[in-house]
Structure 1
């Protein structure tokens, strides 16, 4: 056994003994999280920091854990000065580790008064005893707390668009090991795409929040298990180990508790909390950030529960429950993301003759999305009407590499203009090369939109028949024939987008059936995905 595990094991075994405490204790109950162990002993609770090392927390040194205990007491006394009694040493006695004692400290613990468990918000919620008025009482306590909380330039720096994006980037890196376990690849891709679009679209609002003094040194971990309905109302257990994670927009603080209520199937109480907070604070703009921060806080909850699900020191049933909660949290994150969905740029791509142009046109008409055709843009740039035939020889005439680059640049510009107006866009283009897809994807990214690519495929014999029939169609826009198709096929570069962004459509069926498949694939991508 490694020294860290051995040390934690000794803490657990020693402090589970009633004799380890300097006051009468009948029995000891132990509660674990991924970063701490709480010993409920008589009238007091003792919280010990685990010697863990995560990307977001380094507590492997005793000195650091002692500092964290002192920070926890100081920070939590802002909301609950009656609860936090101080920091005590854990020393080695003749029969094992004890709280207090005269020896050298081998660990530290935060000493708190023990709260009545039946008055905790999560317990009341489970017993159906939590009321709208009680939740509003919490909002009434949070408004003055946030108003008086520190809000200087050092705090405000944690709420800038750049700082918020860093938090999201770190989150996705930390969650990567759990993809396929507690969060699906489709969910992860969906969340990444929405968050990337939000980073652009929310920037002005986030900047306004910083300028308006809405970034505060708040609670940072406001869960239903952090509120106790006694006199006075007790809100405790704030995030003490990182100012960077604790200091945030007040919307993030309030959204955390609203998210937890929603996770426990009481969205109505979460709405009551938000409504009361907005009315009491006068912060109407907070509502515009609720989906954003609900999504973030649900992701954090999913990550924390995923970590807990892999802790060897808790029981198998506890690990299974943590994994279940993690999956629910990530599902809730996707639901929140869908409530403020950015516009979409859908590239309907594929070789000539696959039916992509008909599909793009039909989809645009059905959904009311703006349709941009590479053939139309290419011809209009050269003064040709769309029905006018042009040389379709490979790399010649209107189809030189230079003209193709100009065409995709124009498509990106026109798509960006539509996205800026809040319109969804369908781009009908071959997009055979990775750089062509990248131009369209960048247009979506730059304007805070989601990018999807539907690759339409069909067998050679179907395409040949279609291309031959096209030569007899009056008003056909495309100039491509069989030779062009073969050249495109030889140059086709595999699509390397992730599972969420890449749709594969079978184009060798009647248009109505192909359109139905595309609609179904879009529906599955744009609704909140579930863990399968």
Structure 2
């Protein structure tokens, strides 16, 4: 990659300030110093952007600051001119005529980017939950699209552009044609649903480029940065399509369980189960983007093309329910089996504890008062997870239900929610003394969505659950038998 000749003197100044060569893309050069980063937009005109004029580079530098600063305070600092004094000397934010504009940022340690963290296998459950929370917050704060936004037409333009770019970069014509036809057919079927989502406010001015490399740890929290600033039409899209880039990137990195955790945490926070019908299409489209971008850089884009083909394939869904007393490890088992079920990134995990917290408008780990567990609210919580399960199954996604299911009527309702798809029920069992120790330890840690105490466990253990017709698993080692049943 090269910096345009007219910008070479400015690049030389920034290189001296940073003490190192820049990190380049085809549209920018980032000079990373000890305590300051200078981002220079290259004076290029491409099919999808025009940074050739100084005024345009100033505008888009300010737009990048405007978009990113609210979500990354302190990371994005300001936009300043590079000036030329009467004697020809260049300076950053000096006296004289502006000859260039640069975005100033704070440096981030190279090991704190999420793609780097993923490669070293350090995506912890806590980090994944916090990442999903950050994406959910970004989407909640994003401005909705204007009334009348034609979401199906906008997505059709994105698809057409990516088919064209895949062909232009030399990817196999027969595979691109077949994938494009399959994608177009899926989009036609999804059209009314996408339009309804736009009307409901799910199309927003999103990040636009939300892959692993555009998330970093900042002030101890996962933080999206480098939002797409040069194309409002491309960045104004369904929040599900924005999320799909991150999920696709995790799956392609061999991190499908991580992708499943992020998806389920995001849905636990937002309740936006309506994104599921289009998720496979969106992940395929994001993989197409990566395929032609990778090929354009001279690398092999076929792996991403194969990922796009795989994401478009449908897998028959099924519903798995996991029940048992508090402390039996229902959520642990659900999270172990969910990534392997059905289409990527795995099954929707519906947990009554998280649904109750969302209904109350609090984070999953927040504590709720006893009245939040009144009988009427508990019935509403179960009705909500059964409805969400039916919605997900109809969209082609497998489901794992995670609840105590002490009432036989609730177990029957879970089985009914599966129809006409296959159902498997697991019932976890363990000695009461062990469960008391587990619940007491969980309560002391206070980092779980369950509010159950040892007293709550004892009350549940005293109740009669009726005949257990689900497969009973030893809660001290349930994973092997569960996977054998699901195989």
Q: TM-score range by the shorter chain?
A: 0.5 to 0.7
After superposition, where does 1:18-167 map in structure 2 within 5 Å? 18=17, 27-92=19-84, 97-153=90-146, 157=149, 160-167=151-158
Across the two proteins, how many residue pairs are aligned to each other? 313
Mark the CA change 1:177 to 1:137 in structure 2 (over 3 Å): closer, same or farther: same
Alpha-carbon distance in structure 1 between the residues aligned to 2:135 and 2:271? 13
Structure 2 match to 1:6: 5
The answer on whether the counterparts of 1:55 and 1:174 sit within 8 Å (CA) in structure 2 is: no
Mark the CA change 1:11 to 1:296 in structure 2 (over 3 Å): closer, same or farther: farther
The answer on whether the counterparts of 2:72 and 2:218 sit within 8 Å (CA) in structure 1 is: no
Structure 1 match to 2:307: 332
The answer on whether the counterparts of 1:14 and 1:96 sit within 8 Å (CA) in structure 2 is: no
Q: Residue 60 of structure 1 aligns to a residue in which SS? A: coil
Q: What TM-score, normalized by structure 1, do the two folds share?
A: 0.55
Instruction: Give a deviation string over 1:240-295, Cα, whole Å, max 9, x none.
Output: 11111111111011111111112222122111111111111101121222111111
Pair 1:202-2:190 in alignment:
yes
Q: Residue 229 of structure 1 aligns to a residue in which SS? A: strand
Pair 1:15-2:1 in alignment:
no
Alpha-carbon distance in structure 1 between the residues aligned to 2:312 and 2:267? 21
Alpha-carbon distance in structure 2 between the residues aligned to 1:304 and 1:143? 27
Alpha-carbon distance in structure 1 between the residues aligned to 2:90 and 2:125? 45
Alpha-carbon distance in structure 2 between the residues aligned to 1:127 and 1:44? 26
Structure 2 match to 1:212: 200
Alpha-carbon distance in structure 1 between the residues aligned to 2:195 and 2:24? 38
After superposition, where does 1:122-271 map in structure 2 within 5 Å? 122-153=115-146, 157=149, 160-179=151-170, 183-233=171-221, 234-271=223-260
Superposed displacement of residue 10, structure 1: 4.0
Alpha-carbon distance in structure 2 between the residues aligned to 1:284 and 1:176? 34
Superposed displacement of residue 329, structure 1: 2.3
Q: Residue 70 of structure 1 aligns to a residue in which SS? A: helix
Superposed displacement of residue 38, structure 1: 0.6
The alignment yields a C-alpha RMSD, in angstroms, of: 2.3
Structure 2 match to 1:288: 277
Q: Residue 202 of structure 1 aligns to a residue in which SS? A: helix
Superposed displacement of residue 231, structure 1: 2.4
Superposed displacement of residue 95, structure 1: 8.2
Instruction: Give a deviation string over 1:89-115, Cα, whole Å, max 9, x none.
Output: 123467874422222222111111111
Alpha-carbon distance in structure 2 between the residues aligned to 1:262 and 1:98? 45
Alpha-carbon distance in structure 1 between the residues aligned to 2:182 and 2:7? 40
Q: Residue 237 of structure 1 aligns to a residue in which SS? A: coil
Alpha-carbon distance in structure 1 between the residues aligned to 2:93 and 2:293? 31
Superposed displacement of residue 328, structure 1: 2.7
Q: Residue 109 of structure 1 aligns to a residue in which SS? A: strand
Q: Residue 209 of structure 2 aligns to a residue in which SS? A: coil
Superposed displacement of residue 239, structure 1: 0.5
The answer on whether the counterparts of 1:218 and 1:250 sit within 8 Å (CA) in structure 2 is: yes
Higher relative contact order (CA 8 A, sep 6+): 1
Alpha-carbon distance in structure 1 between the residues aligned to 2:130 and 2:262? 9
The answer on whether the counterparts of 1:15 and 1:98 sit within 8 Å (CA) in structure 2 is: no
Alpha-carbon distance in structure 1 between the residues aligned to 2:254 and 2:90? 42
Structure 1 match to 2:446: none
The answer on whether the counterparts of 1:73 and 1:84 sit within 8 Å (CA) in structure 2 is: yes
Superposed displacement of residue 187, structure 1: 2.1
Superposed displacement of residue 152, structure 1: 4.2
Alpha-carbon distance in structure 2 between the residues aligned to 1:41 and 1:96? 21
Mark the CA change 1:10 to 1:171 in structure 2 (over 3 Å): closer, same or farther: farther
The answer on whether the counterparts of 2:187 and 2:281 sit within 8 Å (CA) in structure 1 is: no
The answer on whether the counterparts of 1:291 and 1:340 sit within 8 Å (CA) in structure 2 is: no
Alpha-carbon distance in structure 1 between the residues aligned to 2:130 and 2:191? 32
Q: Residue 165 of structure 1 aligns to a residue in which SS? A: helix
Superposed displacement of residue 150, structure 1: 0.6
Query: Max radius of gyration: which structure?
Result: 1
Alpha-carbon distance in structure 1 between the residues aligned to 2:203 and 2:315? 22
The answer on whether the counterparts of 1:75 and 1:238 sit within 8 Å (CA) in structure 2 is: yes
Superposed displacement of residue 303, structure 1: 2.8
Alpha-carbon distance in structure 2 between the residues aligned to 1:10 and 1:175? 36
What 5-or-longer segments of structure 2 have no aligned partner? Answer: 317-487
Mark the CA change 1:75 to 1:230 in structure 2 (over 3 Å): closer, same or farther: closer
Q: What TM-score, normalized by structure 2, do the two folds share?
A: 0.60
Q: Residue 59 of structure 2 aligns to a residue in which SS? A: helix
Superposed displacement of residue 173, structure 1: 2.4
Mark the CA change 1:327 to 1:53 in structure 2 (over 3 Å): closer, same or farther: farther
Q: Residue 230 of structure 2 aligns to a residue in which SS? A: coil
Q: Residue 110 of structure 1 aligns to a residue in which SS? A: strand
What 5-or-longer segments of structure 1 have no aligned partner? Answer: 19-24, 310-319, 342-532
